[in-house]
Structure 1
């Protein structure tokens, strides 16, 4: 399997049982407060909950949605809906996109974000993250919709992964996802700090969602996940306060790293910066009990999520200062 963040077991195996702070996954450190659950949430088979879909439709502005066990489930299932074809992926990005389409027998080409528009003419399916993970590139809503229309005109599809779009959703295209040629992926785990819930949504035309539901099969999202997701997606007061908090924390993180010479990009939830020798700096943070995400491929650099409390902020500050001081 491809490497991912959140792998503290690897950190412990390599560096010992330290007082670890996991900054590797780019998730909000402030989890939505899980409400009490009805007893039958654990006892019944999880029938599809129309109230969950309605809450998600209001939150994302999407006309039609399919709940899935995290967007990763959709990333693996979507390629199986299409006959082998030419797939274009804006890169560097979340590695499971290219990997999933390759596993399903498609011919995958990766191209830079700058070269993505120029390469669309040779693709049947095109995939882009907005904002991008891990580098933070952003693509204008108008451009995404124009590309989707161009692909749809020849029977193609644009897949837009908006897993990190919740803090600043202005450029989201989920509201247009019922049109031909557009599929939008949304994640509950990132913004709501509930990665263990394994809940996400696919927004697309009803016909495509019906095919995807048949491909994934029944009971894909647990009863507890549906109940918690329904509460989180409907809690507009919590969402508004959390956007403000995460925006402020994101600005603080980027400013801290900039003071120590890291030219960052990213989002409110994470900072990413290129590094000549990212493994060396990654190991330095690890020795301080800070687990960051190492990228030593096309996105050669480090990604750092938000510290969860003031103690973690101070530990990150100290680790940065001690690295600068190392002869």
Structure 2
């Protein structure tokens, strides 16, 4: 399997400590407070609750949405729904996309964001993370919709992974996902901080969602996950407060990095920068109990999520200061 953030077990075994400040994911450190579960939540088969899809449509602005067991489930299933195709995946981006399209007989090309327009002519499927993970780069919504029209005219798809899109809803094309050839992935895990319940949503035209549902099979989302997510999607007061708090924290993180001489980009949930001494900085942080996301190979750099409290902010500040003085 590919390596991902959040692997504190690996961190502990490698560095022999358990007092980690975990900045290795872009997950909201102040997660939605899960409500109490019904007494039979662990007993009943988890039949799909229509109220959950309705709440997701209202929150994301979509006409139709399919709940899935995290966007990962859709990422793995979508390549199985097409005959061998020419697939362009924006790079660098979330590695699972390229990994799974390559496994199912498709011709895969990984293309920098700046070259996606030119790659459109030789693509049947284009996959874009927007905002991008790990760099935070974005493609304007009108441009994405134009690409989708071009692809749809020849039976192609534009797959847009908006897992980190909840803090910048103006960039989303979810409201247009009923149009042919558009598939949008959304995640409960990032903004709501509920990665552990494994729940995401797919927006697309009805015929494609029906094919995807058949591919995934019954009972894909647990009953407890449905109950918790329904409360989160309906809680507008929490959503407003969290967007404001995340915007402030994201700006603070970028400023803190700037004070250490690091020019970063990202979203309200994380910052990333190309780092020529990426391995050395990762080691420096780990030795101080700060677990960051190291990217090697094409996306050589570091990604930091948000500290959870003031003590964690101060530990990060100290570690960055020590790095600049080395």
**Same fold, TM exceeding 0.5?**
yes
Following TM superposition, by how much is the alpha carbon of 1:277 offset from its aligned partner in structure 2, in angstroms?
A: 1.5
2:125 counterpart of 1:125: yes
CA separation in 1, counterparts of 2:207 and 2:245? 38
Moved more, 184-193 or 34-43: 34-43
Q: Which residue of structure 2 lines up, in the alignment, with residue 266 of structure 1?
A: 266
Question: Residue deviations 1:261-283, cap 9 Å, x none?
Answer: 11100101000011102010000
> CA-atom RMSD, angstroms?
0.6
Q: Which residue of structure 2 lines up, in the alignment, with residue 146 of structure 1?
A: 146
2:34 counterpart of 1:68: no
CA separation in 2, counterparts of 1:39 and 1:127? 41
CA separation in 2, counterparts of 1:301 and 1:310? 25
TM-score by length of 1: 0.99
Question: Residue deviations 1:174-208, cap 9 Å, x none?
Answer: 00001101000000000000110100000000100
Following TM superposition, by how much is the alpha carbon of 1:304 offset from its aligned partner in structure 2, in angstroms?
A: 0.3
Q: Which residue of structure 2 lines up, in the alignment, with residue 93 of structure 1?
A: 93
CA separation in 1, counterparts of 2:262 and 2:27? 20
CA separation in 2, counterparts of 1:15 and 1:262? 26
Secondary structure in 2 aligned to 1:219? coil
Point out 4+ residue stretches in structure 1 off by more than 6 angstroms: none
TM-score by length of 2: 0.99
Q: Note the 1:154-193 alignment, pairs <5 A.
A: 154-193=154-193
Q: Which residue of structure 2 lines up, in the alignment, with residue 207 of structure 1?
A: 207
Secondary structure in 1 aligned to 2:303? strand
2:313 counterpart of 1:308: no
CA separation in 2, counterparts of 1:198 and 1:25? 15
CA separation in 1, counterparts of 2:121 and 2:39? 53
CA separation in 2, counterparts of 1:234 and 1:150? 36
Q: Which residue of structure 1 lines up, in the alignment, with residue 243 of structure 2?
A: 243
Q: Which residue of structure 2 lines up, in the alignment, with residue 196 of structure 1?
A: 196
Structure 1 alignment gaps of length 5 or more: none
CA separation in 2, counterparts of 1:190 and 1:206? 26
Q: Note the 1:276-291 alignment, pairs <5 A.
A: 276-291=276-291
CA separation in 1, counterparts of 2:278 and 2:175? 39
Q: Note the 1:47-58 alignment, pairs <5 A.
A: 47-58=47-58
Aligned pairs, how many? 326
Secondary structure in 1 aligned to 2:127? strand
Q: Which residue of structure 2 lines up, in the alignment, with residue 322 of structure 1?
A: 322
CA separation in 2, counterparts of 1:99 and 1:105? 12
Q: Note the 1:23-34 alignment, pairs <5 A.
A: 23-34=23-34
CA separation in 1, counterparts of 2:304 and 2:2? 19
Secondary structure in 2 aligned to 1:166? helix
CA separation in 1, counterparts of 2:34 and 2:268? 23
Following TM superposition, by how much is the alpha carbon of 1:75 offset from its aligned partner in structure 2, in angstroms?
A: 0.1
Following TM superposition, by how much is the alpha carbon of 1:18 offset from its aligned partner in structure 2, in angstroms?
A: 3.5
Structure 2 alignment gaps of length 5 or more: none
Following TM superposition, by how much is the alpha carbon of 1:71 offset from its aligned partner in structure 2, in angstroms?
A: 0.1
Secondary structure in 1 aligned to 2:5? coil
